[in-house]
Amino acid sequence: MNFQNILVTNEQHIATITINRPSKLNALNKATIDELHTAFMEANKDVNVKVIVLTGSGEKAFVAGADISEFADFDAKEGAKLAKRGQELIFDFIENLSTPVIATINGFALGGGLELAMACHFRIASDNAKMGLPEVSLGVIPGYGGTQRLAQLIGKGKAMELIMTAGMISADEAKNSGLVNHVTTLEDLVPTAYKIAGKIMRNSPHAIAAAIKAVNANFKDGVNGYEVEIEEFGNCFGTDDFIEGTSAFLEKRKANF
Ligand code: COA
């Protein structure tokens, strides 16, 4: 597939998707959102892809937000449509993928950029990264799930403060808040994600997909996460991965999923 705004590489069972609009600090315009949807869908369908790594091109930004130039003249109806479309096409879509997605935050992750990183299954940041949801400074609120996921990740009070002040936090502050799992140098950022991906892919892809579903269930309205866990746990028992994983343990060898 020929993309204009993103780059996709596929190596050693890792699909790396790079948002590639460095002159606009990788801001998410409509075309980029459409391309990201296609790239994530294809990577998730590819049985050879065990982990997806998302990053931004250049040394300055992961993503500096939704592309402000595209929505500055929108009315209420168009604004709501923009948020709904984006949430469906990439933010909710990524969160619910069965393939693990790691965000590597290599600079500014603001507004839709931080929302995108938060939709990924977990995050790693480089020490130059700056994160925030500055939407209220533009007279709007986060619309790609930021009000929900930031509160889930760092707690309601901290999320309220960060959103209301339109402030930015450093990579270390983000780590202390639980927003990112690790902080590295810019140079080590993607290699660290690949190292973690290597550990993930030793395990059963079926069980990992089930774990993503069960963890996500805790954050879905009207869904009992414990029930989802019981169901997904049970479903694992019928799989080839379960037979291989348990046999390998009993035979004192490494499982080959
Ligand atoms: N939407 C559209 N364009 C954006 C953008 C966004 N969210 N963020 C940055 N850009 C563009 C700038 O307009 C500029 O383009 P130009 O060179 O054609 O004028 C280019 O990216 C570089 O940005 P610039 O502002 O010159 O860089 P800086 O180093 O001075 O500042 C930021 C960096 C991130 C602090 C600043 O770009 C910024 O505040 N961006 C908007 C952040 C935001 O509010 N995001 C939430 C959107 S909902």
Q: What is the pLDDT of residues 239-252, one digit of tens each?
A: 999 999 999 999 99
Q: How far is the CA of 114 from the centre of ligand 1 (A)?
A: 14
What atom in ligand 1 is closest to the CA of residue 67?
1
Q: How far is CA 248 from the centre of its chain?
A: 32
Q: Whose CA is nearest to atom 15 of ligand 1?
A: 24
- Catalytic residue set: 115, 135
Q: Whose CA is nearest to atom 2 of ligand 1?
A: 67
Place of tokens 């004192």: 252
CA angle 94–99–105, rounded 5-degree value: 55
Q: Residues near 158 by Cβ (< 8 Å), separated by ≥ 6?
A: 177
What CA–CA distance (Å, rounded) separates 122 from 18?
Answer: 16
User: What is the band of 39 on the pLDDT scale with cuts at 50, 70, 90?
Assistant: very high
Q: What is the pLDDT of residues 106-124, one digit of tens each?
A: 999 999 999 999 999 999 9
Please give the full DSSP string across the chain, using - where no structure is assigned: ---SSEEEEEETTEEEEEE--GGGTT-B-HHHHHHHHHHHHHHHH-TT--EEEEEESSSSEEE--B-HHHHTT--HHHHHHHHHHHIIIIIHHHHT-SS-EEEEE-SEEETHHHHHHHHSSEEEEETT-EEE-GGGGGT----SSHHHHHHHHH-HHHHHHHHHHT--EEHHHHHHHTS-SEEE-HHHHHHHHHHHHHHHTTS-HHHHHHHHHHHHHTTSTT--HHHHHHHHHHHHTTSHHHHHHHHHHHTTS----
Residue among 70, 63, 144, 165 at smallest CA distance from 105: 63
Greatest C-alpha distance within the chain: 65
Q: How far is the CA of 100 from the centre of ligand 1 (A)?
A: 30
Residue to mutate, 25, 57, 70, 110, ligand 1, most ligand atoms under 8 Å from C-beta: 25
| Burial class of 48 by CB neighbour count within 10 A (0 to 12, 13 to 18, 19+) | exposed
| Phi, psi for residue 29 in degrees, rounded to 5 | -95, 175
Residue to mutate, 24, 115, 162, ligand 1, most ligand atoms under 8 Å from C-beta: 24
What CA–CA distance (Å, rounded) separates 51 from 13?
Answer: 7
Mean pLDDT of 13-39: 98
Q: Does the pLDDT of residue 1 top 80, yes or no? A: no
Q: Whose CA is nearest to atom 21 of ligand 1?
A: 24
Q: Whose CA is nearest to atom 12 of ligand 1?
A: 24
- Note whether 102 and 148 are within 8 A (CB): no
Please tell me the predicted confidence (pLDDT) of residue 238.
Answer: 85
Q: What is the pLDDT of residues 156-181, one digit of tens each?
A: 999 999 999 999 999 999 999 999 99
Q: How far is the CA of 201 from the centre of ligand 1 (A)?
A: 37
Q: What is the pLDDT of residues 122-161, one digit of tens each?
A: 999 999 999 999 999 999 999 999 999 999 999 999 999 9
Please tell me the predicted confidence (pLDDT) of residue 2.
Answer: 85
Q: Whose CA is nearest to atom 16 of ligand 1?
A: 24
Q: How far is the CA of 24 from the centre of ligand 1 (A)?
A: 6
Q: What is the pLDDT of residues 168-220, one digit of tens each?
A: 999 999 999 999 999 999 999 999 999 999 999 999 999 999 999 999 999 99
Pocket of ligand 1 (CB under 6 A): 24-25, 27, 64-69, 108, 110-112, 134-135, 138
CA angle 122–52–203, rounded 5-degree value: 80
